[in-house]
Amino acid sequence: MAVVWLDDVRADDLELVGGKGASLGELTGAGLPVPPGFVVTAGTYRAFIEDAGIDDELFSAVEVDHEDSAALKEAHETAHDLIMGTPMPEDVREEILDAYRSIGEGDAFVAVRSSATAEDLPDASFAGQQETFLNVQEEELLESVKACWASLFSERAIYYRNRKGFPHDKVDIAVVVQQMVDSEKSGVMFTCHPSTGEKKVIIEAAWGLGEAVVSGTVSPDNYVVNRENGDVETATIADKKTMCVRDEETGQTVNREVSSDKRHERVLTNEEIARLLELGELVEDHYGNPQDVEWAVYDGEVYMLQSRPITTISEGDEDAASDDGKSTNAGDDVIMRGLGASPGIASGRARIVTKLDHLDQVAEGDIIVTEMTMPDMVPAMKRAAGIVTDEGGMTSHAAIVSRELGVPAVVGTGDATSTIADGDIVTIDGDKGTIREGEMPEEEQRQPVEEARPKTPVKPMTATEVKVNVSIPEAAERAAATGADGVGLLRIEHMVLTLGKTPERYIEQNGERAYVDEIVTGVREVAEEFYPRPVRVRTLDAPTDEFRQLEGGENEPREHNPMLGYRGIRRGLDNPNIFRLELQAFRRLFDMGYDNLEVMFPLVNDAEDVVRAKEHMIEAGIDPEKREWGVMIETPAAALSIREMADVGIDFASFGTNDLTQYTLAVDRNNEHVANLYDELHPAVLKLIGDTIETCRDVGVKTSICGQAGSKPKMVQFLVDKGVSSISANIDAVRDVQHEVKRVEQRLLLDSVR
Ligand code: PEP
Ligand code: MG
């Protein structure tokens, strides 16, 4: 049998139908409202490749050096062509089409979703790698199923499995075919608080199809509901700018602007919340643990689209949360309790860290015990076997970084730094959130699983997006861990400068392809880390004095003031050889599936610069209509030309206040003699920024800041007041900026009703 109906599937059919299929089958069987559908089994895929005799070829084609982009691309193309070019056996075709025709009236729009059998691996980003097709009908159904199979071999997926050493032939793929719910509203629901385990339901909701909420392209409403009495304790209504809908004409899923009357309207009625609560109770009862549910409302009915356990809550948290949440446990040898923030069990010598300068005392295998970790502790955290903090919740820095580093952690213990003595031997359990005296035998210590990202609703919900700046790809993990809404500026200068040679010299010696590969590799690390959150990558902007330090630097022009010289887009346009290669690298990344990348041009002055840059982008094969692209506003000329630049089609304008300040005030940012005059908050700078935001709002161009000033509270206040779309801050400032943004937004809301 090539297909099985969801009614006949149960949770333990994972091998047959993959994680997604099993979960939907289990929900259907439990009598919950799930849209009807069937699964093309994993065995059908396996039989397809084996019977056609393409399996060996397929698996050997993808055994490549994953850091070699050319090899990776070729591997993907070979695998993709093999699958798409091999006909599906007639009996399988018939069985799939027969099943499809018995859904709805026989011509239903269905969602075709990959359901990999290894999706339950302890790595969240694995799950998002395979294809989903929405609004499919009979004509495209079989090809969509094959495309799901082929998506097991996207460049991202091959790269990922090779990097993690996960054998390609151990992953199979089933395909769920399920009636589309043309939802009017949709979102996610956590049946318990995902960070504290408290008995509160957290619901996120937005207009239209759920893709917008799940992929994070819209800031949803957030409701916190008391499970005991059904009271909505808080309802934070977001500015929902976009929604995902089915285009009536083409049947395709498209992003639409939300009409102005609905943007600020509350999405869920109290009745709908009550129904969600009821379903939440049922689903949690059914599984016996807190669930993370995707839901949709259509024609007044609430449907459940998916349910998974909330992995960030550990056993015992609920009990802990119901008393003081961090009490010392009586009985056995548990000396303290906190929140299990990063899974795994580790024993070691406690190192009480009270100041940063104690960090060098943290030796390999120690357990760091500290009030609260700071970004500067990351190197020490890497050495540590475990981490314990007094303060913080599941999305605290310690929790996030520990999870990203794969180090077991217990956070929010209250007073570990005074209860545990320096040098004590302790064992921490990052699942249960316990700390015991003494050592656990080595074989009972458990290495933590890598990866466990924070769940979304616990960071401050802001309508203005808060992003992060990244300059070194190695920092991507840390940057992503801040919970930023994306990367507002990824500079490629560092990647290029670390080559140790000017781009020209590097290309002379290694060829153009190698230069493209270097950029692809560096940018990919960040794009992968953040996927699907957007990453705004900028073409090269290094002044000639920086290039001069490098091999080949002797050929750089000598300039009196490099800051006013040959840099940014002016250099790219004057001598496009290197610029074109950067755009080729971006194009390659788009082809590899990194559709979260956005392209940004530095130091433009006027519309003519933008027109020419756009032409190069088109020449490189990047479709400006399909991709998000924009410019930096770093010169007064750019700020004053914004309307004309908008006419060229930019999607966004990002204030580079480091340069905008120096060019507005005629103060070289590198010249210490005039450093006292350098003021990003100077009224003239603010006037340029404020006016530009106003024009951009008028013409529908998004605005952002990615200069250092974006990390300063005063600038944040000014920008949010003016209605900036996003703020990109330094890694360590992201959280503060999120809070500052939230505070200003709340004040604006209050002002508007007072
Ligand atoms: C800026 O000018 O503010 C900016 C972010 O760019 P850079 O610092 O790289 O010049
Ligand atoms: Mg700049």
Residue keyed to tokens 């395709």? 252
CA 724 to chain centre: 21
DSSP H helices in 539-599: 544-548, 568-574, 576-591
Q: Please give the distance, rounded to the nearest whole angstrom, from the Cα atom of residue 708 to the centre of ligand 1.
A: 8
Q: Ligand 1: which atom is nearest the Cα of residue 659? A: 2
Residue 629 makes CB contacts below 8 A (sequence gap 6+) with 598, 599, 600, 601, 614, 617, 622, 650, 651, 652
Q: In this predicted structure, what is the pLDDT of residue 448? A: 38
Tokens of 139: 């004509």
How far apart, in whole angstroms, are the C-alpha atoms of residue 344 and residue 52? 43
DSSP string, 586-654: HHHHHHTT-TTEEEEE-S--SHHHHHHHHHHHHHTT--TTTS-EEEEE-SHHHHHTHHHHHHTT-SEEE
Tokens of 696: 């951009």
3-class DSSP assignment, residue 368: strand
CA-proximal residue: ligand 1, atom 6 (nearest): 656
DSSP string, 682-715: -HHHHHHHHHHHHHHHHHT-EEEE-SGGGGSHHH
- Is 597:530 a contact under the CB 8 Å cutoff? no
Q: 537 forms bridges with which residues in the sheet?
A: 490, 599
Tokens of 408: 């077991």
CA 62 to chain centre: 26
Q: Ligand 1: which atom is nearest the Cα of residue 660? A: 2
Q: In this predicted structure, what is the pLDDT of residue 219? A: 65
Residue keyed to tokens 């004509």? 139
Per-block average pLDDT, block size 10, for the chain (754 residues)? 93 86 89 95 96 94 82 91 96 97 91 77 45 89 96 83 79 92 89 74 88 64 88 84 83 84 93 95 88 89 85 42 32 73 86 72 91 68 89 60 73 86 92 86 52 42 91 81 92 82 92 92 92 95 85 92 95 96 95 93 98 97 96 98 98 96 91 84 98 97 94 94 94 85 89 80
Indicate if 706 belongs to the active site: yes
What Rg, from alpha-carbon coordinates, does the chain have?
Answer: 27
Residue 669 makes CB contacts below 8 A (sequence gap 6+) with 563, 658, 659, 661, 662, 678
23: closest CA among 308, 317, 263, 314? Answer: 308
Tokens of 726: 């996003």
- Our CA angle for 288, 293, 296, nearest 5°, is 140
3-class DSSP assignment, residue 670: coil
- Our CA angle for 58, 64, 69, nearest 5°, is 115
450: closest CA among 709, 220, 160, 60? Answer: 160
Q: In this predicted structure, what is the pLDDT of residue 593? A: 87
Q: Please give the distance, rounded to the nearest whole angstrom, from the Cα atom of residue 703 to the centre of ligand 1.
A: 15
- Mutation to probe ligand 1, out of 491, 600, 603 (largest number of atoms < 8 A from CB): 491
The pocket of ion ligand 2, defined by CB under 5 A, consists of 634, 656, 659
Tokens of 99: 């099943």
CA-proximal residue: ligand 1, atom 5 (nearest): 707
Q: Please give the distance, rounded to the nearest whole angstrom, from the Cα atom of residue 518 to the centre of ligand 1.
A: 22
Task: Give Cα separations from 597 to 207, 208, 217, 252, 536 (angstroms).
Answer: 25, 24, 13, 22, 6
Task: Find the length of the chain.
Answer: 754
CA 106 to chain centre: 37
How far apart, in whole angstroms, are the C-alpha atoms of residue 399 and residue 378? 12
* Four-CA torsion 662, 663, 664, 665, nearest 10 degrees: 50
Instruction: Sort 73 into a burial class: Cβ within 10 Å, 0-12 / 13-18 / 19+.
Output: middle
Q: Which long-range contacts (CB under 8 A, 24 or more apart) does 707-711 make?
A: 707/655, 707/656, 707/657, 707/658, 707/659, 707/660, 707/661, 707/680, 708/657, 708/658, 708/680, 709/657, 709/658, 709/661, 709/680, 709/681, 710/469, 710/488, 710/655, 710/657, 710/737, 711/736, 711/737
DSSP string, 89-102: PHHHHHHHHHHHHT
Q: In this predicted structure, what is the pLDDT of residue 670? A: 74
3-class DSSP assignment, residue 210: coil
Tokens of 714: 């005063």
466: closest CA among 270, 241, 711, 120? Answer: 711
Q: Residue 476: what are its φ and ψ, rounded to 5°?
A: -60, -40
Ligand 1 pocket by Cβ (under 6 Å) = 489, 491, 541, 634, 656-659, 706-707
Q: Please give the distance, rounded to the nearest whole angstrom, from the Cα atom of residue 469 to the centre of ligand 2.
A: 13
> Residue 708, Cβ neighbours under 10 Å: how many?
18
Ligand lying nearest the CA atom of residue 708: 1
Catalytic residue among 148, 192, 696, 706: 706
Q: Please give the distance, rounded to the nearest whole angstrom, from the Cα atom of residue 707 to the centre of ligand 1.
A: 5
- Our CA angle for 441, 442, 446, nearest 5°, is 110
Dmax (CA) of the chain: 80
Q: How far apart are the first and last CA of the chain?
A: 65
CA-proximal residue: ligand 1, atom 3 (nearest): 656
Q: Ligand 1: which atom is nearest the Cα of residue 655? A: 3
Q: Please give the distance, rounded to the nearest whole angstrom, from the Cα atom of residue 603 to the centre of ligand 2.
A: 7
Indicate if 193 belongs to the active site: no
Instruction: Sort 585 into a burial class: Cβ within 10 Å, 0-12 / 13-18 / 19+.
Output: buried
H or E stretch at 156: helix 155-164
- Quote the DSSP letter at residue 131: -
Instruction: Sort 674 into a burial class: Cβ within 10 Å, 0-12 / 13-18 / 19+.
Output: middle
How far apart, in whole angstroms, are the C-alpha atoms of residue 396 and residue 734? 12
CA 392 to chain centre: 22
Residue 562: is the preceding peptide bond cis (ω within 30°)?
Answer: no
- Is 312:318 a contact under the CB 8 Å cutoff? no
How far apart, in whole angstroms, are the C-alpha atoms of residue 652 and residue 705? 11
Catalytic residue among 148, 397, 616, 696: 397
How far apart, in whole angstroms, are the C-alpha atoms of residue 351 and residue 131? 46
- Mutation to probe ligand 1, out of 489, 632, 703, 726 (largest number of atoms < 8 A from CB): 632
DSSP string, 414-458: SSHHHHSPTT-EEEEETTTTEEEES---GGG-BPPPS--PPPGGG
- Our CA angle for 269, 217, 209, nearest 5°, is 50
- Mutation to probe ligand 1, out of 541, 660, 678, 728 (largest number of atoms < 8 A from CB): 541
How far apart, in whole angstroms, are the C-alpha atoms of residue 135 and residue 130? 17
> Residue 704, Cβ neighbours under 10 Å: how many?
27
